[in-house]
Structure 1
Amino acid sequence: MDFYSQLFLYLSILYVSLYILFLVFRKKSSAPNLPPGKKGWPIIGESLEFVGTAKSGCPEKFINDRTAKYSPEVFRTSLLGEDMAVFCGASGNKFLFSGQKKYVTTWVPTSMKKVVIFPETMEKFNKDDPKKMRSFLPEFLKPEALQCYIPIMDSMTREHLESDWSPYKEVKVSPLTKNYTFALACRLFMNIKDPKVVSKFADPFARIAPGFTSVPINIPGTPFNKAVGGGKLIRQELLNIIRRRKQEISEGKDANARDLLTRLLTEAVDDGSVFYEMNVSNKIIGLLIASHDTTSTSITVIVNYLASLPHIYERVYKEQVEIAKSKAPGELLNWNDIQKMKYSWNVACESMRLTPPAQGAYREAITDFSFSGYTIPKGWKAFWTVYTTHKNPKYFPDPEKFDPSRFEGNGPAPFTYVPFGGGPRMCPGKEYARLEILVFIHNLVTKFKLEKVIPDEKIIYNPSPVPANGLLIRLQPLNQ
């Protein structure tokens, strides 16, 4: 090989090498600036640690460790088999709450859908379904409709306390409130009054929630497997109820029924297919889960603080007994009575700040966007969580102190107190939950004094906060 041939070869090799380096460099330089963090193990990501810290009684540890290590604004992780950006602080909450349909949309984890949605409708279950349901719910949950529920809530609460609390010196609050809120939801949403029918739902429903945030491994004995089995039983029972209700409607029975199921069946377009019935069932299941688990958890948490803090209980009692004195014997609560329960609601809010009934919610990026200098790619999932603000001293001074006065006047700064979410996607059932909680508190504190049997009873999360021993309370009946 002559000199020029060798030179050409060397120059060619050099050129190709430099070109490859250029491509690699350009690819790296053009790579998106992703949020800091790690994905964890293949497939399961950091899900085990996320669930593990919650079950140990310290769900905020997962979040706090990563905000301290990576970024107080946003960090990367992998949960439920998905790349995920966790948005932090009031700015993160505001961005997600305000960016609906512009940057993000609602996302339901596949594991959750497998539990509650009919497999046949999985492909048809799309992002418009939650939107359609939300557009219908305000009609059902607006103040004029809610006012009609208060007497029903009041009478059912009285019956519940009389039958399940009064005969005993000690009770476990957590399972009792779950039974109560579920029976009330069945009554208001589906006009089901028969305790036997309610119990058919209640037992399998107890299996569902623990499986939502578990690793989605569907083998016998796992929480996810139990949740899938519970969901199957519920769906079948709901189909039976829907078909009976359709028959009643066609025969002109219960023409003035105001429950949600009847409204759905009369106002939706029935195409005569089983998919129509399944879609109605999907919506009802979603509402039952949302109204039952978080509200019963909230009531349990509030009772925990009332029993732990006598000075708080006394102020709530004084407010509620004044309302009770203004009522005629046997007269049920009404809308005006609820509006007088300001301090009681502040106590409820402070209880939910310290022990939130839900950890947060998910979104999906519908386009590439930037937040706090980092790029969130299209298709990534986003998660906002109460644990970046509720106990942050930046937003709530002396955050571990129980102080209902935080909610007086204008209350906390926007996007810092978020047990119900915020912005356009705020939970549409917030006012329903407020009524249910306040009606229960009124009847409870005017009937009993409360004392915790286990003063330092541990709270575990599965995924909602649950007292390890069910919150065992000693009851002291008050003179009626």
Structure 2
Amino acid sequence: MASPIILALIFVLPILYFLIKERRYSSKLPPGSLGLPIVGQSLALLRAMNDNTAEQWLAGRIKKYGPISKMSLFGTPTIFLTGPAANKFIFVNDALAPQQPRSISLILGRRNMLELVGDDHRRLRGAVVQFLKPEMLTKYVGKIDGEVKHHINSEWKRHQTVTVLPLMKSLTFDIISSLLFGLERGPQRDALCKDFVELLAGLWAVPVNLPFTTFNKSLRASAHARKALTEITRKKKAMLESGHCSPSEDLITYLLSLKGEDNNCALSEEEIVDNAMVLLTAGHDTSSTLMTFMIRHLANDPETLQGVVHEQEEIAKNKLSGDTLTWNDLSKMKYTWRVAMETLRMIPPIFGSFRRALKDIEFEGHLIPKGWQVFWASNITQMDANIFHEPTKFDPIRFENSSSIPPYCFVAFGGGPRICPGNEFARIEILVTMHYIVMQYKWKLCCKEDTFKRDPMPSPLHGLPIELEFRDSHV
């Protein structure tokens, strides 16, 4: 066991290093305070997120220090940047690398897109983007349609009351499992889903691997999930080599088929598994959260709901009972997608993120020292009255002409070379799901108190229980 002196040095030396560096660069650093050692402003931010006052907390810092300030978050000196110019600086600057909590890389794997930089990141991201581009996804609309119909028939139809968030998470997991891994419904998919529920619980946990901790349970669930995904990958590789499946069958077979000149596009088994873990995690949480908050908003906004219902009725009336939605149908759901975008603007699933400075860099005359992290929050520009007129008003018409929104102001999907590669995939599953829900049901919220917290994703009170009622002309 490490002695108290060694443990003290482990914590104290990094702090002394950054304090000495801060003093060395004090004249160039932005205003602000690093606060107490290790703790800094971490507890204050986490408390604000839990109370759903994080935007106000950050606004208070901006009022006090301006759009660029220093603080300390999660044990690391941090520069907080805000504004369109700052967003662009963060998203396109090669000197800023992703900075994920250590727990994420330990659980999801070291060769995932969130961790990699340079050529490795471009190679892996390019492979995933090729599979998720619209030309590829058109052929998977029917598969997603089938998963949504099965989910509603099995989880919604026999109940007068349902809890939306866990159901949406279950649905998005099933869709991604089917599309990415080719997993059909059954024990293998159920077991993988169970592992991912435990895995996700520890992504933001303190990375101390002691028995019975959330992090320990998450690591064990990750090991089970990785074993299952590795077996799937090896099985599909054998099928691909024997000609028993096509490269476009699912994401795994597609990634396995990549070779390129001199084999320079080929991905290792570790890279395929690690990025499958990331895509399943990211797609599972963000889309389910967005659909939950769309349903939450539409329950209290009859005018917007009527607009969505009218649009979906126009599509449904030209289809026979049991017909599958098509890519052409989805292209007509413009208003429904604007509702999704406005929901994203007001309640982005990802509150903010971090980058790490790979070298000393400057922004607007202020120094960002090497090794410090940069923090950005999407809501700052998305709720800025100088950018979006009456930002607290829900108005889908804002997105009628997306080109009218200044660059790097709406950043719910990120931006630059690391913009979310699954935008189009998310659009398909959200539009298909909302079509069948609004065509079959009316609903009202069960909780009088309509609040939510962030942990770190936004989560409505009690998971958003709603009372269902069949529409007269449901499909």
Tell me, yes or no, whether TM beats 0.5: yes
Alpha-carbon shift at residue 430 of structure 1 (Å): 0.9
Alpha-carbon shift at residue 139 of structure 1 (Å): 1.2
Question: Do 2:69 and 2:80's aligned partners in 1 also have CA atoms closer than 8 Å?
Answer: yes
Question: Do 1:349 and 1:407's aligned partners in 2 also have CA atoms closer than 8 Å?
Answer: yes
* 2:197 is the counterpart of 1:206: yes
SS of the residue 1:85 aligns to = strand
Divergent runs of 4+, >6 A: 27-30
Gaps of 5+ in 1: 1-26
Aligned to 2:45: 50
Can you list the C-alpha shifts for 1:260-300, whole angstroms capped at 9, x where unaligned?
111222325999xxx94333211110111111111111111
Question: Do 1:32 and 1:375's aligned partners in 2 also have CA atoms closer than 8 Å?
Answer: no
Output the CA distance in 2 between the equivalents of 1:181 and 1:111: 23
* 2:227 is the counterpart of 1:246: no
Greater displacement, 432-441 / 402-411: 402-411
Question: Do 2:345 and 2:379's aligned partners in 1 also have CA atoms closer than 8 Å?
Answer: no
Name which one, 1 or 2, has greater alpha-carbon Rg. 1
SS of the residue 2:192 aligns to = helix
Change (3 A) 1:69 1:306: same
Which of the numbers 365, 370, 380 marks the counterpart of 1:388? 380
Alpha-carbon shift at residue 375 of structure 1 (Å): 0.6
Which of the numbers 219, 224, 229 marks the counterpart of 1:233? 224
Greater displacement, 160-169 / 226-235: 226-235
Can you list the C-alpha shifts for 1:221-247, whole angstroms capped at 9, x where unaligned?
544344333322222222222233333
Change (3 A) 1:106 1:457: same
Alpha-carbon shift at residue 32 of structure 1 (Å): 5.1
Output the CA distance in 1 between the equivalents of 2:175 and 2:25: 56
* 2:256 is the counterpart of 1:265: yes
* 2:332 is the counterpart of 1:337: no
Alignment of 1:213-228 (within 5 A): 213-228=204-219
Greater displacement, 469-478 / 251-260: 251-260
TM normalised by structure 2 equals: 0.87
Change (3 A) 1:30 1:143: closer
Aligned to 2:81: 87
* 2:64 is the counterpart of 1:74: no
Change (3 A) 1:434 1:255: closer
Output the CA distance in 2 between the equivalents of 1:215 and 1:359: 19
Output the CA distance in 2 between the equivalents of 1:63 and 1:222: 31
Aligned to 1:127: 117
Alpha-carbon shift at residue 41 of structure 1 (Å): 3.6
SS of the residue 2:466 aligns to = strand
Alpha-carbon shift at residue 188 of structure 1 (Å): 0.4
Output the CA distance in 2 between the equivalents of 1:246 and 1:425: 28
Question: Do 1:47 and 1:215's aligned partners in 2 also have CA atoms closer than 8 Å?
Answer: no
Output the CA distance in 2 between the equivalents of 1:29 and 1:277: 45
Output the CA distance in 1 between the equivalents of 2:333 and 2:246: 35
Alignment of 1:395-414 (within 5 A): 395-409=387-401, 410-414=403-407
Aligned to 1:136: 127
Which of the numbers 455, 467, 470 marks the counterpart of 1:474? 467
Alignment of 1:28-427 (within 5 A): 31=26, 33-71=28-66, 73-99=67-93, 101=94, 103-117=95-109, 126-128=116-118, 129-255=120-246, 257-267=248-258, 276-409=268-401, 410-427=403-420
For 1:474, the aligned partner's letter is E
Aligned to 2:453: 460
For 1:333, the aligned partner's letter is L
Can you list the C-alpha shifts for 1:306-354, whole angstroms capped at 9, x where unaligned?
1121221111000110011122332211122111111111111111111
SS of the residue 1:389 aligns to = helix
Alpha-carbon shift at residue 49 of structure 1 (Å): 2.6
Gaps of 5+ in 2: 1-21
* 2:437 is the counterpart of 1:444: yes
Aligned to 1:17: none
* 2:426 is the counterpart of 1:433: yes
Alpha-carbon shift at residue 145 of structure 1 (Å): 0.6
For 2:449, the aligned partner's letter is D
Output the CA distance in 1 between the equivalents of 2:230 and 2:39: 34
Alpha-carbon shift at residue 187 of structure 1 (Å): 0.5
Output the CA distance in 2 between the equivalents of 1:34 and 1:223: 37
Question: Do 1:216 and 1:224's aligned partners in 2 also have CA atoms closer than 8 Å?
Answer: yes
SS of the residue 1:415 aligns to = coil
Change (3 A) 1:232 1:29: closer
Identical-pair percentage: 35
Greater displacement, 35-44 / 333-342: 35-44
SS of the residue 2:299 aligns to = helix
Alpha-carbon shift at residue 254 of structure 1 (Å): 1.8
Greater displacement, 204-213 / 469-478: 204-213
Change (3 A) 1:259 1:29: closer
Output the CA distance in 2 between the equivalents of 1:208 and 1:308: 34
Change (3 A) 1:472 1:411: farther
Question: Do 1:316 and 1:344's aligned partners in 2 also have CA atoms closer than 8 Å?
Answer: yes
Greater displacement, 206-215 / 314-323: 206-215
Q: CA RMSD in A?
A: 2.5
For 1:35, the aligned partner's letter is P
Change (3 A) 1:226 1:310: farther
Output the CA distance in 2 between the equivalents of 1:277 and 1:256: 16
